[in-house]
Structure 1
Amino acid sequence: MVLFTGKSRIAGEHVARAQLFAMVRARSGQPISGTRNARVTVLVLGELLPEVVTDPVDVRSQNLVYVENQRRWGNHICIVDDAGVAALLKGFPATCLRSRSVHGDLVEVAPGSGS
């Protein structure tokens, strides 16, 4: 189950959410629209614009905070960036980004294969 946050780009081009959903379904994935739940396995972390962030100062989304909380509780959800989702859609593995809570609901994301 794939949850998206922010605007996603593949090969530098913005891809509309409906088109991304169709691409995920074509690879036997199940995109989720809106509702976050513990069955999510991948969060696609796209570009976070001011209208889609919980906190414009710290530039974080509710979906990212939710996934970080799930990870902290032992439910591993892989966070991928635009390059990662592009790789998955081509049938290649993607690197899972590391994340950690910094203070409160502030989440830091970094390259790597962390949990």
Structure 2
Amino acid sequence: MLVNIFKSKIHRVKVTQAELNYVGSITIDEDLLDAAGIMENERVQVVNNNNGERLETYAIKGKRGSGIICLNGAAARKAEVGDIVIIISYAWMTQEEAKTHKPMIVFPDENNLVVK
């Protein structure tokens, strides 16, 4: 049996852009994606700490080192620039794999940059 387990998260980043007229997704600084082990096009959940909204979309790479967090398309209606969000990814694992899995958690600085 497979279980869907918390794989990683980018904890408390600031939304820098919201682009309604875009096909969809969330643009995330490539450094943040790498640090959290999130792949481009991977399904992610976005939780908005400011208004309680939750949505699922897919990640696309943003410019490395830019700190960009941009909600695109319909997702742009779920947050405003300056809102604080948590971006979460999940993975399917066997129960045995899940017992030893250690999630990757990234705590960016106030500019959405990876803290080394």
Return the TM-score normalized by structure 1. Answer: 0.29
Return the TM-score normalized by structure 2. Answer: 0.29
Please tell me whether Structure 1 or Structure 2 has the larger radius of gyration of its CA atoms.
Answer: 2
Bigger relative contact order, structure 1 or 2 (CA pairs below 8 A, ≥6 apart): 2
**Greater share of residues in strand:** 2
**Greater share of residues in helix:** 1
